[in-house]
Amino acid sequence: MAGFDAYAATTRVALVSLGAVLLGSVAGAVGAAATSGLPESLSYGVQSALASVVIGAVAVAAVRVRGENRVRGGPLDFFDLARPSARTVGVGVVAGVAMLGLLWAFGVLTTALDVPSASHGVQERIEANPTIALVMSVVSLVFVAPGEELLARGFVQKTLYDHYSPRLAVVVASAVFAGVHVFAYATAPALAVAASLTQLFCVSLVLGAVYLCTKNLVAPIVAHGVYNAVQFLLIYITV
């Protein structure tokens, strides 16, 4: 059973994650205002990039506050950001494809059970302007995946290693990751939101396992980037 320290640590990382998302939203709003004269697709890409940079920056700042900068190499050492080998990148690509398979299977299951779907805010924008999907496929690889993985795996999951077994830390970090996405589906029916968050939780388990096994944050970043980018390209083709 997890003790009080573990619950307290989970609460702290969850609050930091929530704060990172909120600050990222503010950065996105600033980006929207600053790029109002640009085409909508580019403006939205800038918003998402800025939000992701802020999320990653919060993760780095949180590590510094915890004193991890005293570790040799500073925060980047704490995050296990190392030059990737071909195997590391390959594991990331395979994991990304596996996550897409999981997404497809989840879609089949929810359709069979007649569970309503919750549209992510960006999907609604893409339906109105498909070019956003092309921009976001690049932004996802370059900004979104690194920013979110610095926070979810690099900060949250690794911090929880001090309080849970590594495997349980993956599970708890995945719950935190799914939980902070709730605002993206705020207007959807409760059952649809629950289904979407469950899907994110399962996907996050894969990312957490990849990080745990490779001990290199590049692997989940690649997996996350592939997962998001392919989805955007598929949405573009469909729309």
Q: What is the pLDDT of residue 144?
A: 96
The structure tokens listed for 94 are 């395979």
Q: What is the pLDDT of residues 127-182, one digit of tens each?
A: 888 999 999 999 999 999 999 999 999 999 999 999 999 999 999 999 999 988 88
- Give the CA angle between residues 199, 144, 147 to the nearest 5°: 105
CB atoms within 10 A of CB 165: 11
Q: What range defines the domain where residue 46 resides?
A: 4-238
Task: State the average pLDDT for the chain.
Answer: 89
Which carries the bigger pLDDT value, residue 230 or residue 193? 230
The structure tokens listed for 77 are 């050492």
- Helix or strand holding residue 70 (H, E): none
Query: Span 98-117, mean pLDDT?
Result: 87
Q: Can you list the alpha helix ranges (DSSP code H) found in 129-189?
A: 131-139, 145-149, 158-160, 166-179
Q: How many structural domains comprise the chain?
A: 1
The structure tokens listed for 119 are 């549209």
Model confidence at 235: pLDDT above 80: yes
Q: What is the pLDDT of residue 69?
A: 46
Asked if 181 and 96 count as a contact pair (C-beta separation under 8 A), the reply is: no
Can you tell me the distance from the alpha carbon of 137 to that of 144, in angstroms, rounded to the nearest whole number? 10
Can you tell me the distance from the alpha carbon of 9 to that of 31, in angstroms, rounded to the nearest whole number? 32
Burial class (CB in 10 A: 0-12, 13-18, 19+), 18: middle
Query: Span 19-44, mean pLDDT?
Result: 92
With CA atoms as reference, report the closest residue to 230 among 150, 136, 91, 146: 136
